[in-house]
Structure 1
Amino acid sequence: MAHRILTTLVVTGTRVFGRAFAEAYKQASASSKYAAEMKKGNVTGASTYASNGLTLDEACKILNVKPPQAGETQLETVMERFKKLFDLNDPQKGGSFYLQSKILRARERIEMELRETERKAKMDKELKEGWKPKVYKDR
């Protein structure tokens, strides 16, 4: 009888340890991929899943808008779609809080992409023109 209990204990312990090890490995792998993207300077690639787990393509599909072409998108259209879908899914009107949060995250993801594109454009412009600090002289 004791050998049966001991065997059950060993098998159960091995399963628990195996699952914990597999989960830790997944987490470490994701963390190293994130760190590699950050080291390359690819902030949008690193923050694609870090911020809310939503890619730009998914965000565009949720709000039913076209993906930004060369950093250009109709922000008015995005906001229009956001407001309409957000109001339609109001939990007090019988909507879904989950869908409402997905819609909010989609808008935030598109806005994040636009901010990143603007930042890169500003940086490229500054690199082309050269850095010209503003100098203020006291009289």
Structure 2
Amino acid sequence: MAHRIITQIVLTGGRVFGKAFAEAYKQAQASSQYAKAAAKSDPGSLNTAAASGMTLDEACKILNVKPPQGGVANMEQVMERFKKLYDLNEPKKGGGGSFYLQSKILRARERIEMEAKAAERKAALEKEIKEGWKPKMYRD
């Protein structure tokens, strides 16, 4: 009688584990395909999202700021929201904050800064291409 119960437990556990493994595999496949499609459309975006661990949209939602328009972000507003939220979530003050929330807020600020710097570099490169490269001349 005991061997039947043990056999049923093992078989049921095997089915549950098998279904979970199959679902995880499907999700990994979908994520891989999404990453490939994103890399084709914008090769640089995948690297920045991977570096910070979050998307630009998620970062904007965390800090409650508008996404950069035309590559220009209102960094004063971003820093103001960052400081306020970071201080509110200070765990040592006893206000119910947590290190996890502070970490997410910090990563959101870094992600928006990364996007702004990338847009700034792109604008400078386009300006240089438009105006032409002008080396600095030094006279003796």
Q: TM-score, normalised by structure 2?
A: 0.72
SS of residue matched to 1:99:
helix
Please state how far the C-alpha of 1:114 moved relative to its aligned partner: 0.6
1:113 matched to 2:115? The reply is yes
* Cα shift readout 1:4-58 (whole Å, capped 9, x = no counterpart): 75555344323312211221221232123223322444322x2475344533333
1:35 matched to 2:36? The reply is yes
Please state how far the C-alpha of 1:93 moved relative to its aligned partner: 0.6
Q: Which amino acid aligns with 1:97?
A: F
CA contact (8 A) 2:60 2:66 kept: yes
Q: Which amino acid aligns with 2:79?
A: M
Summarize the alignment of residues 1-139 of structure 1 with structure 2, pairs less than 5 Å apart. 6=7, 8-44=9-45, 46-47=46-47, 49-94=49-94, 95-130=97-132, 132=133, 134=135
CA contact (8 A) 1:63 1:107 kept: yes
- What value does the CA root-mean-square deviation take over the aligned residues? 3.2
Please state how far the C-alpha of 1:110 moved relative to its aligned partner: 0.9
Quote the sequence identity (%). 50
Gaps of 5+ in 2: none
Please state how far the C-alpha of 1:92 moved relative to its aligned partner: 0.8
Q: Which amino acid aligns with 1:86?
A: Y
In 2, Cα distance between equivalents of 1:5 and 1:61: 49
Please state how far the C-alpha of 1:74 moved relative to its aligned partner: 2.3
Question: Which one is further off, 11-20 or 47-56?
Answer: 47-56
**8 and 73 in structure 1: CA distance in 2 versus 1, 3 angstrom threshold:** closer
In 1, Cα distance between equivalents of 2:100 and 2:44: 27
Please state how far the C-alpha of 1:69 moved relative to its aligned partner: 1.9
Please state how far the C-alpha of 1:116 moved relative to its aligned partner: 2.0
Q: Which amino acid aligns with 1:85?
A: L
Q: Which amino acid aligns with 2:118?
A: E
CA contact (8 A) 1:37 1:43 kept: no
In 1, Cα distance between equivalents of 2:11 and 2:134: 69
